[in-house]
Amino acid sequence: YEKLHFDNSEDKFSLLGSQIVTPLLGERNAARLPEYHRMDFSISKQFNIYDINFYLSFSIINVYDRANIFYFNRDTGERVNMLPFLPTAIIKVEL
């Protein structure tokens, strides 16, 4: 592969022969995303009835439905969030 050097912010290069890309450089690790916090909850139970094994599980991702950022779209600047409030249930039966 071709190694790209970003020593000069005035440098421009063509990526796959299509668009001209101009890197916007700043100090290393200077950019930050907004704060992130998420609380998940999960409970499970395993039991037997007549030699049949049952496994029940219930979980919730992002319990209080906080809009946590996943990334910013570099083309549009639009914020893209992670998972919303997401409940799941599992029933597993082993004969």
Domain assignment present for 52: yes
Domain assignment present for 1: no
Q: Which residues are paired to 33 by β-bridges?
A: none
Domain assignment present for 48: yes
Q: Name the residue among 40, 41, 47 with its Cα closest to residue 91.
A: 47
**Number of domains into which the chain is organized:** 1
- For 2-48, what is each residue's pLDDT tens digit? 565 655 555 555 556 666 666 667 787 777 788 889 999 999 999 99
Domain assignment present for 70: yes
Domain assignment present for 68: yes
* Domain boundaries, position 37: 33-94
pTM (2 decimals)?
A: 0.61
8 Å CB contact between 78 and 72: yes
8 Å CB contact between 11 and 21: no
Domain assignment present for 40: yes
Domain assignment present for 80: yes
Domain assignment present for 6: no
